[in-house]
């Protein structure tokens, strides 16, 4: 539905702009007009070597004048934690990741990165340390090797292949007649949706960001590729703070924290076990087959 795709497109469009800024607009498939981003605040400074602590303090935001899209958000992600964002369609999950990625700024409250007000950090330095694995894989016209190398432009061929191995992508790439030199184009060179995801995971592994934004795919993927994706994600998530717009029950259960959002507010947060014990919204969702419901949102 439109309601579902718009916010994701929002992040995607902005992300494409970001990509094109690095790679040259001609290399990215779909460059779509986006709003002008605000400039960095006066005196904003780069922050290097982010550990990945992310804190929301009374954060409220709305896209348009009127009621808040999200309001009074409070949570803390410790470095390395996996945070699953769960909730019905339109609840505000994408908005939260849009705010973490600084595509929008809070109207009220603060977002702290490693204890620093994120407004006082340059966007460029922040985004260099953030990775995105989104439902659309942002593959561009070029070889598979170039597409993976996009994660870190100075990576050697060996590093590209190591990332592909870690992402469970190496074996399918090798089976292609042209291997890593296979050209991706709009007709996709016979690469499946799941394989595209593996490529975008390989790219993120190569980039090695401190903070990862993951919009878990909802498309149905064959069981074997799905297992490969799950395994590759486990590797990718290790050691970095990850925010996942989660649709798979397993991802949600394994998260360090589950944040349940409804109508722009956090209604519950905690581990799978603690939320089940609370016998609240999450418990009800879970016992009424959460996964089915989450997947039905798509």
Whose tokens are 């950090």? That residue is 121
CB of 250 to ligand ATP, least distance (A): 18
Residue recorded with tokens 């939320």: 275
In terms of CB distance, is 89 or 225 closer to ligand ATP? 89
Instruction: Measure the CA dihedral 86/90/95/97, to 10°.
Output: 30
Comparison of 52 and 87: residue with beta carbon closer to ligand ATP = 87
Secondary structure E strands in 14-157: 54-61, 70-77, 82-86, 108-113, 116-117, 130-133, 142-143
In angstroms, what is the minimal distance from the CB of 298 to ligand ATP? Answer: 8
- The β-bridge relationship of strands 211-215 and 241-245 is parallel
**Shortest CB 277 distance to ligand ATP, Å:** 25
What gap in Å lies between CA 221 and CA 108, rounded to an integer? 40
CB of 138 to ligand ATP, least distance (A): 18
Taking the least distance from each CB to ligand ATP, the nearer of 88 and 270 is: 88
User: CA torsion, points 291, 270, 98, 62, in degrees to nearest 10?
Assistant: 100
* Residue 32 tokens, joined: 């779509």
CA–CA distances in Å: residue 158 to residues 12, 180, 207, 296: 29, 11, 14, 40
Bridge partners (DSSP) of residue 245 are 85, 215
Q: Which spans of this chain sit near ligand ATP (rule: CB under 6 A)? A: 3-4, 6-8, 10, 63-64, 69, 87, 89-95, 297
Question: Which of 73, 164 has the CB closer to ligand ATP?
Answer: 73
Choose between 9 and 168: whose C-beta lies nearer to ligand ATP. Answer: 9
Minimal distance, residue 170 CB to ligand ATP, in Å: 32
Strand 241-245 and strand 257-262: the pairing is: unpaired
**In the complex, minimum distance from the CB of residue 200 to ligand ATP, in angstroms, rounded to a whole number:** 18
Q: Which is nearer to ligand ATP, 125 or 298 (CB)?
A: 298
Report residue 121 as tokens: 């950090």
The encoded tokens of residue 263 equal: 């109508």
**Residue of closest CB approach to ligand ATP:** 7
């Amino acid at each position: 539905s439109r309601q579902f795709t718009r916010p994701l497109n929002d992040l995607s469009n902005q992300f494409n702009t970001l990509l094109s800024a690095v790679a040259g607009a001609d290399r990215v498939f779909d460059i779509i007009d986006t709003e002008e981003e605000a400039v960095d605040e006066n005196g904003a400074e780069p922050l290097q070597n982010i550990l990945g602590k992310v804190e929301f303090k009374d954060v409220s935001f709305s896209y348009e004048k009127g009621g808040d899209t999200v309001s009074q958000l409070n949570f803390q992600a410790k470095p390395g934690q996996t945070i699953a964002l769960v909730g019905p369609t339109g609840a505000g999950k994408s908005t939260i990741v849009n705010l973490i990625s600084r595509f929008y700024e809070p109207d009220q409250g603060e977002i702290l990165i490693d204890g620093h007000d994120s407004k006082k950090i340059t966007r460029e330095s922040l985004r260099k340390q953030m990775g995105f694995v989104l439902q659309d894989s942002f593959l561009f016209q070029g070889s598979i090797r170039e597409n993976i190398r996009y994660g870190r432009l100075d990576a050697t061929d060996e590093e590209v292949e190591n990332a592909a191995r870690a992402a469970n992508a190496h074996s399918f790439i090798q089976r292609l007649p042209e291997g890593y030199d296979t050209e991706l184009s709009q007709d996709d060179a016979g690469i499946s949706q799941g394989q595209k995801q593996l490529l975008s995971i390989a790219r993120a592994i190569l980039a090695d960001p401190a903070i990862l934004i993951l919009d878990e795919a909802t498309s149905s993927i064959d069981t074997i590729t799905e297992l490969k994706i799950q395994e590759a994600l486990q590797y990718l998530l290790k050691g970095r703070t990850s925010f996942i717009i989660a649709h798979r029950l397993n991802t949600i259960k394994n998260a360090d924290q589950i944040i349940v959002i409804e109508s722009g507010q956090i209604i519950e947060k905690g581990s799978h076990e603690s939320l089940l014990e609370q016998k609240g919204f999450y418990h009800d969702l879970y016992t009424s087959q959460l996964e089915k419901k989450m997947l039905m949102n798509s």
